[in-house]
């Protein structure tokens, strides 16, 4: 696929990696639609891309809401004259140990059902809804080739305190393989990348000593730059013989 002529939809494009993907796509000349739940963040991303050659359209939408996702795909396709790329990037954290005893009070605390369900809804159900709507659009309109890139995580191998997130990201890789098989006859490829630690506002907001300990576990000794994750996404978009796989982009980190 030629990235510069693509028509892409990026979820969670209001900040972090999503904003980087929107900006880098637009910098190539691609037409890009994106969504976020934060209206101010949507406006900020649109403003950031104002001088870039590609068209950028922002929408407020919750990827965990079926009606909003269906509306988003329809609006994005109308704004761009169709869609042939989907980047399922939107995601949230609600970290907690499954069971924890408070050292001072002795109280036993657990991960709540709400913490579990919120992450599953956004990080796993969201990509399902978006991919379903996107693929249906491509099949109905005869759009081919088309590509879906799912943003998983190295936490899919299991990461302490992230039962919800690890389950969602592992499930997303399983769906990547299945959707690649199911959608190949329609001219769609589906692949994924799994970042480790990435230099985003969330990571930079951590206490320096905590961050230092985390990065000490990375063989390359540092966090990834967001643009390095874009390089992996771009490879998946451009290489027409890659589908049904997940590429780890974690500097050698194993969880």
Find out whether 98 and 111 touch, Cβ atoms under 8 Å.
yes
> Rounded to whole angstroms, how far apart are CA atoms 57 and 80?
8
Find out whether 183 and 166 touch, Cβ atoms under 8 Å.
no
What is the phi/psi pair of residue 121, to 5°?
-60, -45
Residue 145: is the preceding peptide bond cis (ω within 30°)?
Answer: yes
Assign 3-class secondary structure to the chain: CCHHHCEEEEECCCCHHHHHHHHHHHHHCCEEEEEECCHHHHHHHHHHCCCCCCCEEEEECCCCCHHHHHHHHHHHHHHHCCCCEEEECCCCCCCECCEEECCCCCCEEECCHHHHHHHHHHHHHHHHHHHHHHHHHHHHHCCCCEEEEEECCHHHHCCCCEHHHHHHHHHHHHHHHHHHHHHHHHCEEEEEEEECCECCHHHHCCCHHHHHHHHCCCCCCCCECHHHHHHHHHHHHHCCCCCCCEEEECCCCCC
Residues forming the active site: 165
């Amino acid at each position: 696929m030629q990235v510069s002529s693509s028509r892409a939809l990026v979820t969670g494009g209001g900040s972090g990696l999503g904003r980087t993907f929107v900006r880098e796509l637009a910098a190539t000349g691609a037409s890009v639609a994106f969504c976020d739940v934060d209206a101010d963040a949507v406006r900020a991303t649109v403003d950031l891309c104002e001088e870039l050659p590609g068209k950028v359209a922002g929408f407020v939408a919750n990827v965990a809401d079926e009606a909003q996702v269906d509306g988003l795909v329809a609006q994005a396709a109308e704004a761009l004259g169709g869609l042939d790329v989907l980047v399922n990037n939107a995601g949230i954290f609600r970290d907690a140990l499954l069971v924890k005893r408070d050292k001072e009070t002795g109280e036993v605390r657990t991960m709540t059902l709400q913490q579990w369900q919120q992450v599953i809804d956004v990080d796993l159900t969201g990509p399902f809804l978006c991919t379903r709507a996107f693929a249906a659009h491509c099949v109905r309109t005869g759009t081919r080739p088309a590509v879906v890139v799912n943003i998983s995580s190295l936490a899919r191998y299991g990461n302490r305190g992230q039962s919800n997130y690890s389950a969602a990201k592992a499930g997303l890789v399983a769906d990547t393989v299945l959707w690649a098989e199911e959608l190949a006859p329609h001219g769609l490829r589906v692949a994924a990348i799994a970042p480790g630690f990435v230099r985003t506002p969330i990571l930079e907001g951590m206490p320096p000593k905590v961050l230092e300990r985390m990065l000490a576990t990375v063989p390359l000794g540092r966090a990834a730059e967001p643009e390095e994750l874009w390089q992996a996404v771009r490879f998946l978009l451009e290489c027409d013989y890659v589908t049904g796989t997940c590429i780890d982009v974690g500097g050698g980190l194993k969880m």
